[in-house]
Amino acid sequence: MNSALRRKQIVYAARQVFSRKGYHAATVEDILTEAGIARGTFYLHFKSKREVFGVLLGSFTSALEMNIKRVSTTPDAPPVLDQMMGNVERLLTILINNLDLTRIMLHESRGIDPDFDRKLGEFYDNVLALIQLSLKHGQEMGVVRPCDIEVASHVVLGSVRQVMEIVIGAKKRPVSADQLGRALLDLLAGGVFVRA
């Protein structure tokens, strides 16, 4: 079989397994069974269990990062607010459409390996930086309230992360990305409490 194809097959099997049992509880054996291949074959394509996990996690965070568009302030660009809303909506859509990977990223990727912790940290830092950039532009444009931008970026990211738990927790009835996005964006826009 084509090497690239085989890799994909293994990554896919690993995705199922990690999603089902978590990284530590999952054994290489589980992945082999899921993929229907032999032990040696696995190590022919990946250096280690960790590597597959890294690939899985890395490609997901990449996909996410690629969908966060830098806000543009050129005259013909859409309103900054719309761009920011678009980012959140796009992320939610990807996350909801890949709930297994989302679960892995949110619940299973910490404490496996200092390397992953660092990578994941960098991912979140990048996301935060992008959010902060957006917010700065937004403030310049007057569409973002004067506020502590660092904290605000964490509020946005944290809200998105936590809100995903609703979707993860909802076993059978899938949650609509649209509806959830609207509710979330409404809150991010207007705040929770009534302004004093």
Partner DNA sequence: TATGAATGAGCTTTCATTCAT
Partner DNA sequence: GATGAATGAAAGCTCATTCAT
| Residue 5 CB neighbours (<10 A) | 9
The structure tokens listed for 120 are 């994941």
152 vs 144: CA distance, rounded Å: 10
Instruction: Give me the least distance between CB of 55 and a second copy, in Å please.
Output: 18
The one of DNA, a second copy, none whose footprint includes residue 67, by CB under 5 to 8 A per kind, is none
Measure the CA–CA gap between 146 and 155, rounded to whole angstroms. 15
- Contact criterion met (CB below 8 Å) for 47 and 12: no
The CB-of-87 to a second copy minimum distance in angstroms stands at: 12
* 119 touches, from a second copy, DNA, none (C-beta below 5 to 8 Å by class): none
How far are the Cα atoms of 73, 90, 175, 188 from residue 141, in angstroms, in the given order?
9, 23, 34, 18
Does residue 194 bind a second copy (CB under 8 A)?
Answer: yes
CA distance 12 to 20: 13
What is the rounded radius of gyration, in angstroms, for the C-alpha atoms of the chain?
19
In the complex, the smallest distance separating the C-beta of residue 107 from DNA, rounded to whole angstroms, is: 18
Q: How far, rounded to the nearest angstrom, does the alpha carbon of residue 171 sit from its chain's CA centroid?
A: 19
Q: Does 75 bind DNA (CB under 7 A)?
A: no
- Per-residue contact string for residues 69-88; x = within reach of a second copy by CB under 8 A: ------------x--x----
Question: What is the pattern of x (binds DNA, CB under 7 A) and - over residues 45-64?
Answer: x-xxxx--------------
Partner whose binding site includes residue 154, from a second copy, DNA, none (CB under 5 to 8 Å by kind)? a second copy
Distances (CA, A) of 69 to 83, 95, 109, 170, 175: 8, 16, 25, 29, 24
Contact window for DNA (CB under 7 A) among 33-41, 76-84, 126-134, 137-145: 33-41
Name which position in 22, 41, 132, 136 contacts a second copy (CB under 8 A).
22
- Residue in the block written with tokens 């998105």: 160
Contacting residues toward DNA, per CB under 7 A: 1, 3, 6, 26-29, 37-41, 43-45, 47-50
Which residues contact a second copy by CB under 8 A? 22-25, 81, 84, 106-108, 110-112, 117, 121, 124, 135, 138, 142-145, 147-148, 150-152, 154-163, 165-166, 169, 180, 183-184, 186-196
